Amino acid sequence: MNKGLIITLAVVGVLVLFIFFSFKNTYNSMVTEEEKVTKAWSQVENVYQRRSDLIPNIVNTIKGSVTAEKDILVGVMDARAKATQVTVDPSKLTSDQLANFQGAQDGLSSALGRLMVVVEKYPELKSIQGFSDLRIELEGTENRISVERKNFSEAVNTYNTLIRQFPNNIMAGMFGFQKKEYFKSQIGADKAPEVKF
């Protein structure tokens, strides 16, 4: 073989390997970041589920003390049922899916808020140790929800940035990697709610 042909084949071989490894690394990075979004979403669902699991205990703890407020208790349990029925596929996070999920969770938060207002009318509830413990757990869970939503948003941001950068955007289009949606703040979220226990 002639020396020029060998050098040409070697250069072409190196270029092919370079392109292959570039594509492989970019593709694997996209997969890794997409999996991080899925994991972060799983944690969001986990803390919302924790909150949902606490609600029957809270309702049962105060049920006997707030018999005049049965409609509030029923409203909380109905909102809980609706919130647990809404599911989101993390591989296809659309704004509609997140809006439905958030709407159901907001309904539950609103019902819980009305319940806590009712609790104010019954000072004897504050002295029940089980209720006090559950209220503290619920407050901690609300904080966890905030943290996990933040972590989710960060994972979505990293993923969306990766797939939108050039030349990654070309590969993302070729392999079906699509932009993920963020949680949207609800109207009035810029004002802190007044919470009384």
CATH of the domain at 134: 1.20.1440.20
pLDDT value for 13: 93
Residue 84 lies in a domain: yes
Residue 183 lies in a domain: no
Distances (CA, A) of 141 to 45, 97, 161: 12, 23, 30
pLDDT value for 186: 61
Residue 188 lies in a domain: no
Residue 167 has phi, psi (to 5 degrees) of: -95, 5
Q: Which domain holds residue 137?
A: 33-175
pLDDT value for 188: 52
Among 38-52, 64-78, 130-144, 148-162, the range scoring the smallest mean pLDDT is: 64-78
Residue 28 lies in a domain: no
* Cis? peptide before 167, omega within 30° of 0: yes
Residue 26 lies in a domain: no
Residue 17 lies in a domain: no
Taking only the tens place, the pLDDT of each residue in 147-169 is 999 999 999 999 999 999 999 99
Torsion of CA 4, 9, 12, 16, to 10 degrees: -170
Q: Is the pLDDT of residue 145 over 80?
A: yes
Distance between CA atoms of residues 102 and 93, nearest Å = 13
Supply the pTM of this predicted model.
0.80
Q: Is the pLDDT of residue 193 over 50?
A: no
Residue 127 lies in a domain: yes
Task: Note the Cα 65 to chain centre separation in Å.
Answer: 35
Distance between CA atoms of residues 130 and 125, nearest Å = 9
Residue 182 lies in a domain: no
What is the total count of domains within the chain?
Answer: 1
